[in-house]
Amino acid sequence: MSINGKWQKRLKLGASYALIIFVIIAILYPLLWTVGASFNPGNSLVSTSLIPKNPTIRHYQELFSGKASLPYGQWYLNSLKISIFTMLGTVVSVCFTGYAFSRFRFKGRQNGLTLFLLLQMIPQFSALVAIFVLAQIMGLINSHWFLILLYIGGQIPMNTYLMKGYMDTIPYDLDESARIDGASHTRIFWQIVLPLSKPMIAVAAMNGFTGPLGDFIISSTILRSTQYYTLPIGLYNLVNDVMGASYTMFAAGAILISIPVAFVFLLLQKNFVSGLTSGGTKG
């Protein structure tokens, strides 16, 4: 290899490392700033350094102090309840719909897939007025279960499209071999297709869990009473002069949201890889 070729390779490698380092800094810096702000005394996010000079855990203590005006613990439980049931409902729904679109040929199949894709392109909050009127007519204002159904419905189109695409990569020969042995569609679904679909199931579960934790518009339309709030609504009120505009307490509350997300990710991460090989060699 010539000297110019070596330098070009080194420059490309150096540029790649520089880009990676820049992306890492861009991702970690806001996170580190938020963590530092959560330990910063006072109510302001303004600080001369990432590490506070006089760190305190007072903001974390006040979040769970039981103040009537700040039921953070109740908001946390509300969010976990909605996220968990949305995740379960999403996984169950998209597994069945993905399998149906992948393995069966029926009238309207292609139109259904196109409709799912089009629905995903339309923001769910574009139907806020209709959703609010429907909730009011049915007496479902402040109903967590109505909100869960909305979230599941919003998760189905794209996750079904992804699940169907992943199940298409599972060889049909496995299905045919199982049918020769007398297996029904139900047995093929549970014992062959689902074990091999674990990576995409994990993705659908992660999407279903994190979606409600980041939503503010739809939840604020349905949930009007303080005790029914989710974390996004409650934390918004902390910086909107409703509860004193405590930005440092907002930072502490935002950091605590990441704990269940990290736990679910650690719980599901092994399925991203193990699902690729499991099930195919089982008798």
CA distances from 17 to 5, 13, 22, 27, 28 (A): 18, 6, 9, 15, 16
Query: Average pLDDT over the chain, rounded to whole?
Result: 83
Alpha-carbon 27 to chain mean position: 18
Q: pTM of the predicted model, to two decimals? A: 0.83
What is the mean pLDDT of the segment spanning 80-84? 95
User: What is the spatial distance between Cα 234 and Cα 243, in angstroms, rounded to a whole number?
Assistant: 10
In total, the chain counts a number of residues equal to 283
Asked if pLDDT for residue 31 goes beyond 70, the answer is yes
58, 263 contact by CB (below 8 A)? no
If DSSP codes are grouped into helix, strand and coil, which group holds residue 44?
A: coil
Structural domain spans, the chain: 3-61, 67-274
pLDDT tens for each residue of 153-196: 889 888 888 888 888 888 888 888 888 888 888 888 888 888 88
pLDDT of residue 148: 95
pLDDT of residue 275: 46
Amino acid at 131: I
Asked if pLDDT for residue 274 goes beyond 60, the answer is no
pLDDT of residue 92: 95
Question: What separation, in Å, do the N-terminal and C-terminal C-alpha atoms of the chain show?
Answer: 52
**DSSP structure string for 95-137:** HHHHHHHHH---TTHHHHHHHHHHHHHS-GGGGHHHHHHHHHH
pLDDT of residue 2: 58
Of residues 121 and 151, which shows the higher confidence score? Answer: 151
Sign of CA dihedral 213, 215, 218, 222: positive
- Token pair for 187: 């047995």
Query: Tokens 């000297």 label which residue?
Result: 3
Torsion, Cα 111 114 118 120, to 10 degrees, reads 120
Superfamily of domain 67-274 in CATH is: MetI-like (1.10.3720.10)
Pick the range with the lowest mean pLDDT from 20-34, 193-207, 228-242.
Answer: 228-242
